[in-house]
Amino acid sequence: MTTVQDLIDRLDAEAAADADPATTPDVGIIMGSDSDLPVMEGAYDALDDLGFTEQTDFDDAPAERFTYESYVVSAHRTPDLMYAYGETAADRGLDVVIAGAGGKSADLPNMTASIAYPIPVIGVPVQEKSVDSVIGMPTGAPITAVDAGKSYNAALSAAQVIAREHDSVEDRLVALHEDQKAGVADVSAALHDRGLAGFRERDDA
């Protein structure tokens, strides 16, 4: 069985490895519990849509240039792991962290933002009741946050951070945005041209 200390040791070893940034995960996805995963899967989807690949082995990078990793890190049950993750983020090559947490005391995004500073952290309130906790950071310890459940948007924001240094990621963001615009145009035209009844028949087909 893997222990919290095993994970901390793993993170410390990766931080000490001085790996080539081109082979390390660019985005970290963390969440307070695996029960948050149904909401946080949107972040995986967005990164996949942008051509990122999940990296599950730090020492064996996928062929794709841009990758992401994920961990369950509880601010309340595993604070030592949270500190280790935040403190090693930069040395392990991460450019940005997406952190999701639920409940009224959703502290993981805020605490990670403070510990990992100046690495940007994008907070995802998993539930509506988590919003105030996630966005309530004091001056000097900033966090970017999306609305409750909007982990897809969080991943797009993470990619925007990386795109400042990598034109290929910017191109992927623009292409994805254009695809989404085209999808709206198709739906709009179908509703107008077919009318409500015809549009509903289209959806039922």
Q: What is the pLDDT of residue 189?
A: 94
Q: 61-69, long-range: CB within 8 Å, 24+ apart, which pairs?
A: 61/22, 61/23, 61/24, 65/22, 65/168, 66/26, 66/162, 66/166, 66/169, 67/24, 67/25, 67/26, 67/27, 68/25, 68/26, 68/27, 68/28, 68/29, 68/44, 69/25, 69/27, 69/28, 69/29
**pTM, whole model, 2 decimals?**
0.92
Segments of the chain with pLDDT less than 50: none
pLDDT digits (tens, 9 = 90+) for 17-54: 999 999 999 999 999 999 999 999 999 999 999 999 99
Q: Hey, what are 23's tokens?
A: 């082979």
pLDDT of residue 205: 63
pLDDT of residue 68: 98
| pLDDT the model gives residue 6 | 98
